Amino acid sequence: MDQNYSNYLDSDEWKELRQRLIQRSGGNCEICGDFIGKSGQVHHISYGNLFEEGDEDVEYVCKYCHSGFSNSNKWCFCCGLRLVGDFLRW
């Protein structure tokens, strides 16, 4: 992993972004809807604004949805959604 990215994940800006996402989602995974509290992960919908993400560039997800969208098949282990282009499909 790039050292700049690792440092960014430890920054106050990243922590504030993550906190906003937890508040926006009510502590629920924004993909499957399961309650995850503060144990969720931030998923980049787009890396186009990396290091300067807006709330629209990221979503708060459970570890199962995040690992599914991080795999090469681009599908969620948790809820079965597939990522097709920039859209989620059943």
**Residue range 54-90, pLDDT digits in tens:** 999 999 999 888 877 655 555 555 555 655 554 454 4
* pTM listed for this prediction: 0.74
The token pair at 59 is 């979503």
User: How far apart are the C-alpha atoms of 32 and 66, rounded to whole Å?
Assistant: 11
The token pair at 62 is 């459970």
